């Protein structure tokens, strides 16, 4: 059973930028463009008609100001991750976008690596919420805000990944020869499911862990993870 890809909507009047984003998205497995808009009415219509997980939007030209564009998106699709793609490098514009609820801010022109990281981060965001329990502890909530934790002193790691935590995860995984569910790994490490997923996702990206689906007679298949020694 194949996992459903992340559904992406692009909203930008610049056709060249749209073409670049489409090409970049097509190069990253697990993501698919389901709509393109060049005006605010088109954007709103697509949000109403389609399931959208992530929106890459250039607010300039779509409405009179950024607040109107982002506000309309939030009203129609409050759970979607909004990623502003803009040529405005000034602090006020960036702060304004983030205060309105933008998940990320990408400056034009952008590299494939930076764009891909935004895709990965948006997927992490969605998976974090999917793994949260119905009632959260403070630790569950804190795990969603990695910048509040200890500063990452290891420049080769993403800011949300701590070396000590990663080492513990690898130590646990390397002692087991069979694939484990995220629940099994969370129990063995003592981490929350959210933290467990974050580190598993990182290990998957760097090729240290593989995932498989275990099908059962009833119910959804179980995703399991195995460390590659």
Please check whether residues 121 and 138 belong to one and the same domain. Answer: no
CB atoms within 10 A of CB 112: 12
| Residue 146 pLDDT grade (very low, low, confident, very high; cuts 50, 70, 90) | low
Rounded-to-integer distance, Cα 144 and Cα 129, Å: 9
1 part of a folded domain: no
Using CA atoms in the order 73, 99, 14, 75, what is the torsion angle rounded to 10 degrees?
Answer: 10
Q: Which of 101, 108, 126, 106 is nearest to 117 (CA)?
A: 106
Please check whether residues 125 and 177 belong to one and the same domain. Answer: no
Distance from chain centroid for Cα 201: 11
Q: Which of 129, 155, 184 is the last residue of a domain?
A: 129
Please check whether residues 138 and 206 belong to one and the same domain. Answer: yes
89 part of a folded domain: yes
Domain carrying residue 193:
134-227
The count of structural domains within the chain is 2
Residue 40 phi, psi (nearest 5): -65, -40
State residue 156's pLDDT score: 59
pLDDT, tens only, 13-58: 999 999 999 999 999 888 999 999 999 999 999 999 999 999 999 9
Rounded-to-integer distance, Cα 109 and Cα 107, Å: 6
State residue 90's pLDDT score: 92
| Residue 147 pLDDT grade (very low, low, confident, very high; cuts 50, 70, 90) | very low
Token pair 């070396």 in the structure block, residue: 163
What CA–CA distances, in Å, run from 212 to 120, 126, 173, 216, 229?
A: 20, 20, 15, 13, 16
pTM (two decimals) = 0.66
Residues 6+ apart with CB under 8 A from 175: none
Please check whether residues 123 and 104 belong to one and the same domain. Answer: yes
Please check whether residues 74 and 139 belong to one and the same domain. Answer: no
State residue 3's pLDDT score: 67
Please check whether residues 195 and 217 belong to one and the same domain. Answer: yes
């Amino acid at each position: 059973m194949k996992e459903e890809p992340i559904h992406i909507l692009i909203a930008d009047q610049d056709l060249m930028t749209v073409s670049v984003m489409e090409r970049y998205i097509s190069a990253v497995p697990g993501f698919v463009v389901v709509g393109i808009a060049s005006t605010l009415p088109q954007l709103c219509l697509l949000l109403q008609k389609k399931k959208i997980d992530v929106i890459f939007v250039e607010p300039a030209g779509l409405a009179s100001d950024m607040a109107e564009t982002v506000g309309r998106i939030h009203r129609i699709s409050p759970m979607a991750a909004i990623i502003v793609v803009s040529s405005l490098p000034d602090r006020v514009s960036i702060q304004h976008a983030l205060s309105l609820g933008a998940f990320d801010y990408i400056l034009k022109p952008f590299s494939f690596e930076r764009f891909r990281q935004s895709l990965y981060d948006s997927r992490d965001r969605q998976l974090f919420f999917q793994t949260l329990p119905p009632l959260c502890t403070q630790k569950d909530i804190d795990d969603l805000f990695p910048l509040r934790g200890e500063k990452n002193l290891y420049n080769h790691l993403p800011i949300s990944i701590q070396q000590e935590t990663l080492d513990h995860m690898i130590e646990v995984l390397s002692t087991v020869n069979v694939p484990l569910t995220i629940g099994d790994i969370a129990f063995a490490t003592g981490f929350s499911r959210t933290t467990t997923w974050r580190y598993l996702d990182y290990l998957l990206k760097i090729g240290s862990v593989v995932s498989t689906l275990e099908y059962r007679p009833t119910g959804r298949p179980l995703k399991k993870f195995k460390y590659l020694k």
